[in-house]
Structures are given as C-alpha cells and as structure tokens.
Amino acid sequence: MKKISIFGFTGSIGSQALDIIEQKPENFEIDVFVCNKNADKAISLINLHKPKNVFIFNPNARLKISEKCSKDINFFRSYQDLREHIKVNKSDIYLSAISSFECLDLTLDAAKSGGKLLLANKESLVVFGNSIISECEANNTELIPIDSEHFSLFTALKNIERNNISRIFLTASGGPFRGLSMKEVFNKSVEEALNHPNWNMGSKITIDSATLVNKCFELIEAQHLFSLKPDLLNIIVQKQSVIHSLVELKDGSVEAQMSKPSMIIPLAYGLLGEHSEEIKKIYSLDLFDEDIELSIEAFPSDRKNLLEIAYDVMRNDDNSGLIFATLNDIAVKRFLQKKIKFGEIYKLIFDNYHLIERKKINSLEDLNDNKEEINNFIEGK
C-alpha cells in the first residue's frame, strides 16, 4: 500500500487522480489533502476518500468543511503545521496540482521526500526549475510529469539517443481562438476564452491555453525536465490534441506520441507505477475511428513575442521565468475579473517583461520577495 498526498485535490487533475484511486482503494492510503476553498466538492471528496489530514487555505471554507467531515480527520490550523507534517511524515507519492506557483514550497518539500513527485504544476519549474530538479536528484525523488505533452516526451526519450535528435515539437491545441489573429481576439470575452474545445481545466490554465502562454511555459518546463537545449524546442499547433509531441531525428524521420486528450494515462502510470490494462481498455486510441483527424499548423506568427520571451527565459539563469509567470498571473487575474480585455493580457506582458530588473533567485525567500517587487512595480504604474 502506497501513502499518497494530493495538493489540489478538488481541481481537475486532482479529481481525475482520485477517480483512479477509487478503482484500486486497496493500493493507497491517503495522508494529506490540500485545496483552497471549493467547499462543496471538498466535503464530498473528503467523506468519500477519508484522508488522515486536510489543509484548506481559506479560513472560512476550512471551518465549513471541517464541520461537515468526520472528527477523526485532522484539519491543520496553519500552513506551517502542514509543512512540518510533510517533513516528518513522508508520503510515497505526492501529486502537485495546485494552479500557478502559490504553493511552491509544498512542491519543494515533495521534491526532498525521496519518494515520487507527480508534477502537474508547470509554473513551479518556470520560476524555480533548477532548484526543484536539483532537490529531486539530491534526494533520489522520482519526478514524473503529468502534462500530456511532457509525459509523451518522458516516454519517447527513454528510447531515443539524445545525439540523434534534431528537433522536438510540443503541440498546442490552439485553444478556443485557434486561427484567429491578435486583432480578432483582442476583445474576446471571459466566457469565450474559457470555452476550450478539447480540455476541461481550471480557469487559469484555460486562459493560458487561449493566449498560448501555457505552451510557452511548457517549453521552459521541458528544458528543465529533460535537460534540453532551447534551440531543440519548438511549438506546433495540433488542434485535435491527439499528437502530444514530435521528435525529429537527424535522419529526417519523425516519431510522434499520440493518445486521446486526457490526463488519465500519465496519472495512472504515475500512481500505479506501471502501464494499466484497465486504463488501456477505456482510453486506447483508435486511429480508425472516423472522428479521429490529424492536422498540423504553425505557431501563429503574431504571437512570436511570446516565444521570444520563452527562449529568453530558457537562456538565462535568473528571475526571467518569475517575471514572465508573475506578469501573466497579474494579467489573467485582471482579465477574469473583467478589468482588462483579452488582448491586454499580451500587452501587460510585452510592455513590462524587459523593464523589470534581472537578478538571481537563490531561495524561496528571494523568490517571494522578488514576486512582491514585480507586483508592486505593476501596481505602481
């Protein structure tokens, strides 16, 4: 039996992981659940899966949830209590699936565990990738990416000699605005941006998919995960989200990793430690299905400034990733609050990325201080 802790258990990825666990409850003992404030869903999942410990960030939601759950469950009163527990009581598996990088220290704690870290939080690598990878290596923590694109590379690169690789392509669906110009998307509404054609995800990552910022984050993530040179990494648009990555070899041939647009396959592998026959029966890709269609398009040229920022982050060992991710966080929050237009997400990033001072990030304290400085810079403009 494996002890597991899930950071972000009420979100899309956390919920899918619990669907797998529910099919094999004898394999897992749930130690810690963490979420922000989704009270109704949290109450349902806690009562179903009966974790030993729970932490809810929002105090009002914490009170409501704790009152509706078994008194045998320990509800941590503070974030520090949660972190102390994780340091002393290590799980075999951690799933880090909290949106953005608000709880980066939890991911870092998991990286130090010596167990298995299932990482579904790309921003953590964008802003603090070198440290997370170093901690995993120093503590023999197995790191498995849960993004479908990175899991496909995780699988593909096991069987390919690195010196035979010419180029690597991560695929983007293009989101709800695929094929539209920057001018055409400028005034798109929140509701339109959240209407993703292929994936059911949280609001933040869905907006990032619509802007294509998410895919630029994934380039940076791939560099850290697989120690790849930036010049090898590219993005193409594959609207059906069936092809997840392409590896072009030096002989001109191309190997593609394909599966249905679902996180279930990487989650099942990460949780079960093997490829699952049960999952295969349900999620096997039938290439003869009449609805299966494969198309390839270039990354939109009028978003090339996003790519240039991603490459700049990959080539600089400083706070560039933190600047990129923080500016995007600020812009997406303002858009979701209907304070700015969709096109102004790009404007906020492009207008400010090169204005902010570059510096080294050597610790979480440095990172949090610099994040506050970036927020203050934007608020003061």
Helix, strand, coil abundance in the chain, percent, nearest 5: 50, 15, 30
Lookup: tokens for 169 = 């392509």
In a domain, 270, yes or no: no
In a domain, 41, yes or no: yes
Residues 6+ apart with CB under 8 A from 34: 5, 6, 7, 8, 9, 54, 55, 56, 57, 82, 98, 103, 106
Residues 6+ apart with CB under 8 A from 96: 7, 8, 103, 106, 107, 110, 117, 118, 119, 120, 121, 124
Lookup: tokens for 203 = 């609001």
In a domain, 68, yes or no: yes
In a domain, 116, yes or no: yes
**Nearest residue to 356 (alpha-carbon basis) of 372, 326, 377, 381:** 377
Whole-model pTM? 0.93
Which amino acid, 206?
A: T
DSSP helix/strand/coil, 380: coil
Neighbours of 236 (CB within 10 A): 17
Question: Which residues does the chain have with pLDDT short of 50?
Answer: none
DSSP helix/strand/coil, 7: strand
Q: Using CB atoms within 10 Å of the CB of residue 113, give its burial: 0 to 12 exposed, 13 to 18 middle, 19+ buried.
A: buried
74-75 sheet: strands from edge to edge: 74-75, 53-56, 28-35, 2-7, 93-96, 116-119, 142-145
Domain that holds residue 49: 2-145
Q: What gap in Å lies between CA 132 and CA 128, rounded to an integer?
A: 6
pLDDT of residue 198: 67
Q: What gap in Å lies between CA 152 and CA 127, rounded to an integer?
A: 23
Q: What gap in Å lies between CA 285 and CA 265, rounded to an integer?
A: 11
pLDDT of residue 289: 74
DSSP lists the bridge partners of residue 94 as 5, 117
Lookup: tokens for 341 = 């237009």
The answer to whether the CB of 164 falls within 8 A of the CB of 249 is yes
**Which pairing describes strands 254-258 and 243-249: parallel, antiparallel, or unpaired?**
antiparallel
**Number of structural domains in the chain:** 1
pLDDT of residue 37: 87
The answer to whether the CB of 54 falls within 8 A of the CB of 30 is no
pLDDT of residue 64: 94
The predicted-structure confidence for 70-128, as pLDDT tens digits, reads as follows 999 999 999 999 999 999 999 999 999 997 777 899 999 999 999 999 999 889 999 99
DSSP helix/strand/coil, 80: helix
In a domain, 47, yes or no: yes
Length of the chain: 381
In a domain, 244, yes or no: no
DSSP helix/strand/coil, 36: coil
In a domain, 298, yes or no: no
**Which pairing describes strands 233-237 and 243-249: parallel, antiparallel, or unpaired?**
unpaired
In a domain, 140, yes or no: yes
Neighbours of 363 (CB within 10 A): 11
The answer to whether the CB of 85 falls within 8 A of the CB of 110 is no
137: CATH: 3.40.50.720
